[in-house]
Amino acid sequence: MLALAAQRLISPTGYIENPVVLVEDGSILEIAPRSARSVPAGVAVLDFSQSILAPGYVDLHIHGSAGYDVMGDAAEALPAVEQLLARHGVTSYYPTTVTAPIDPTLRALERLASAIEERDRKIVPPPAARAAPLGIHLEGPFISHARRGVHPPENLLTPTLAAFERFWQAARGRIRMMTIAPELDGAIEVIAEAARRGVCVSLGHSDADLQTSERGFGAGARHATHTFNAMRPLNHRDPGILGAVLTDSRVTADIIADGVHLDPAIVRLIARLKGPQHTVLITDGTSATGMPDGTYRLGSLEVEVRDGRCTSDGKLAGSVLTMDRAVRNLAQFAGWTLEQAVTAASLNPARVGGLSNKGALTAGADADFVVLNAAGEVERTFVAGVEAVAGR
């Protein structure tokens, strides 16, 4: 058993002052005010008396970091990515593909499924605690040519049940999120089938009009991928996909709050329209995250990083954003409290991703913690009660 004490704890209902948290076998056993709960004899107490305990962050959209892409085949790739993620407060993530030729995509899905299964079987020992891959996000190839961004046009596919099944089998059912453009022929049928299998279907990289977007949500889609980016622009007489995303109270929306992909005023707009319960932070991080300026990989693409911008042929190509920075930016841009911004990086993505034991510090949940200072900077990270990293 382990006990953690802190100045405050961010819970689903707000702050708990001076909490003590008891952890056993990787789960939270109990949370109580320290004045009301004595620590059992012989149990070590980690005292963060000047800090805040928050739920571990969940990143549903990340392509890589630390010089590695999640579609790569190097044995050291995912461990390096996961160590850097944990250093910035992320305890769970969905490795995200980018459009590529079919065979390399299938091989990447197989490798990612194996990594997830190894974590499920606890093959990775506690001393190597780091962010855990819990599902795969398939971004592309079922996206719009008009809004493809840097996704290679020659590798885009028309969505069919047969193509989706091929990806599903390669991933051994580990696809948990899929970005798709609803206007493509066959997309509505694929959306419905993926949703039936429990996939969080997210509309994105789309040039859809309002009515088509509404059909996509009606078929089972329930989320939006990097809202505003790679989407038909909002027009007052042609609201398009953004009109549906921003006005449908059932739809959650994720954003890249790096100050590059979205102006702070647009972050503020989305935050006001979607609110603290439906706004989700992602990084869309690439292999360049945590690295110096230079040239890196995004799937089969070459990307260049200069002054915080990640581009390919002049177009934005993912980001070098870290989740702790995204939390602080959202609080600043939207005028939110730290608690609200943390929720957009923890509880909200956990709910969107169907991760029932993640994203909230409550009895019975997984003991995934991030220790923050008052400014929201990460001091320590714990995965299943085991420290993943100490400081930067």
Catalytic residues: 284
Beta-bridge partners for 179 = 139, 202
Could you give the CA distance from residue 158 to residue 184 in angstroms, rounded to a whole number?
Answer: 7
Residue 260's CB is within 10 A of a number of other CB atoms, namely 16
Are 188 and 164 within 8 A, CB to CB? no
Are 130 and 92 within 8 A, CB to CB? no
SS3 label, residue 176: strand
SS3 label, residue 152: coil
Could you give the CA distance from residue 242 to residue 257 in angstroms, rounded to a whole number?
Answer: 17
Q: Which two tokens stand for residue 185?
A: 């022929």
Q: In 3D, which of 11, 383, 30 has the Cα closest to residue 20? A: 30
Could you give the CA distance from residue 311 to residue 304 in angstroms, rounded to a whole number?
Answer: 5
Give the residue carrying structure tokens 């042609």: 238
B/e letters for 211-228, b = 16+ CB within 10 Å, e = fewer, are ebbbbbbebbbbbbbbbb
